[in-house]
């Protein structure tokens, strides 16, 4: 089967477990969710990549983080993606996620971003201690750092029950080849990759391959770390975007990503609870059709 046919086939099959994507926001009780392949567990389709607001918690206090998480949870979201920074910040993060309003309602990730087995084990152990979690929902290798060394560690942690799921991340196109090779020989539970209306290379091979391998796909850089908004500053949203509920450039990109049925969850980064609410609302209502996706690509590429 050629790549295009395989991708179309996978898109059709993977659309089946999607929960409630055709319903309107008014009719929904919670955010739409998509199943983690090979499990009976589903994740809400919009999550939070919390690097900036977590990193600044020691300086700015815990309330900004609390407000952003509250906005996500209010819309039915639960996936919180972060990685160790330092004890001051991570301890505050752990305090907030264990407060009564968030306890047992969040899907918490962590990452290894250091070289060496001992350094990786220390990061994972510190995450358990500082996050106040006996079990991490998802442990990942950040940007494929020291991949072979840490992959053995992650497998051991999953087998021991200290991590429910394990995976790897990339956020740059230059790492896609290495990620593809990894997926050909291993089967992580999750991968994380960059993907947006402006960065579409992942939809060509990485995302279809992950789906074929039964791997959940989490998306980072939906706004290219803010570069998307800089490029589109002063450009009005096309009127036809209102047909599928695209009210802002953030929602325009998120709607494009979510209309790919092979995507499990999209991480959005913000320190503004109003923006978090706007991002979460992109999950509701209908998503662009195949023809509308093509129109979105053409419109963006002409700018």
- Residues 66-80 have pLDDT tens digits of 999 999 999 999 999
pLDDT of 19 strictly over 60: no
- Residues 213-235 have pLDDT tens digits of 999 999 999 998 778 888 888 89
What's the average model confidence in pLDDT over 175-188?
98
Among the residue ranges 12-26, 125-139, 235-249, 250-264, the one predicted with the least confidence is 12-26
Confidence of residue 96 (pLDDT cuts 50, 70, 90): very high
Residue 2 included in any domain: no
Residue 294 included in any domain: yes
Domain containing 253 — which CATH number?
Answer: 3.20.20.100
CA 85, distance to chain mean position in Å, is 19
Residue 201 included in any domain: yes
What's the average model confidence in pLDDT over 261-283?
95
Residue 10 included in any domain: no
Candidates 93, 46, 35; CA nearest to 269 is 46
- Residues 99-132 have pLDDT tens digits of 999 999 999 999 999 999 999 999 999 999 999 9
Q: Give the length of the chain.
A: 303
Residue 24 included in any domain: no
pLDDT of 29 strictly over 90: no
Residue 198 included in any domain: yes
pLDDT, greater one: 263 or 4: 263
The domain tally of the chain equals 1
70: burial class by Cβ within 10 Å (0-12, 13-18, 19+)?
middle
- Within the chain, strands assigned E span 33-35, 42-44, 46-49, 79-81, 107-112, 136-141, 163-169, 190-194, 216-220, 265-268
What's the average model confidence in pLDDT over 276-296?
96
Domain that holds residue 144: 40-302
Confidence of residue 9 (pLDDT cuts 50, 70, 90): very low
Residue 150 included in any domain: yes
pLDDT at 21: 36
Could you tell me the pTM of the whole model?
A: 0.89
pLDDT at 238: 94
pLDDT of 94 strictly over 60: yes
Residue 21 included in any domain: no
Q: What is the DSSP letter of 173?
A: G
């Amino acid at each position: 089967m050629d790549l295009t046919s395989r991708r179309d086939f996978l898109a059709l099959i993977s659309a089946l477990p999607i929960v409630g994507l055709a319903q309107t926001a008014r009719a929904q009780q919670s955010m739409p969710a998509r199943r983690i392949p090979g499990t009976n567990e589903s994740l809400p389709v919009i999550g939070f990549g919390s690097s900036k607001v977590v990193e600044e918690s020691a300086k700015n206090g815990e309330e900004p983080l609390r407000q952003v998480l509250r906005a996500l949870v209010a819309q039915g979201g639960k996936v919180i993606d972060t990685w160790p920074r330092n004890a001051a910040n991570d301890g505050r993060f752990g305090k907030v996620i264990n407060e009564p309003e968030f306890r047992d309602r969040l899907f918490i990730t962590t990452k290894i971003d250091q070289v060496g087995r001992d350094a990786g084990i220390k990061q994972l152990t510190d995450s358990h201690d500082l996050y106040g979690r006996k079990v991490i929902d998802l442990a990942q290798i950040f940007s494929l750092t020291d991949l072979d060394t840490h992959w053995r560690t992650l497998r051991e942690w999953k087998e021991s029950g200290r991590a429910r799921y394990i995976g790897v991340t990339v956020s740059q196109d230059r790492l896609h080849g290495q990620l593809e090779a990894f997926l050909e020989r291993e089967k992580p539970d999750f991968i994380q990759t960059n993907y947006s209306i402006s960065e579409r290379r992942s939809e060509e091979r990485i995302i279809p391959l992950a789906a074929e391998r039964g791997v959940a796909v989490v998306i980072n850089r939906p706004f290219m770390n803010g570069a998307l908004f800089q490029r589109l500053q002063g450009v009005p949203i096309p009127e036809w975007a209102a047909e599928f509920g695209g009210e802002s450039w953030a929602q325009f990109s998120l709607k494009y990503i979510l209309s790919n049925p092979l995507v499990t969850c999209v991480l959005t980064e913000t320190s503004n609870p109003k923006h978090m609410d706007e991002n979460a609302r992109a999950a509701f209502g209908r998503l662009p059709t195949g023809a509308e996706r093509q129109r979105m690509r053409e419109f963006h590429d002409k700018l």
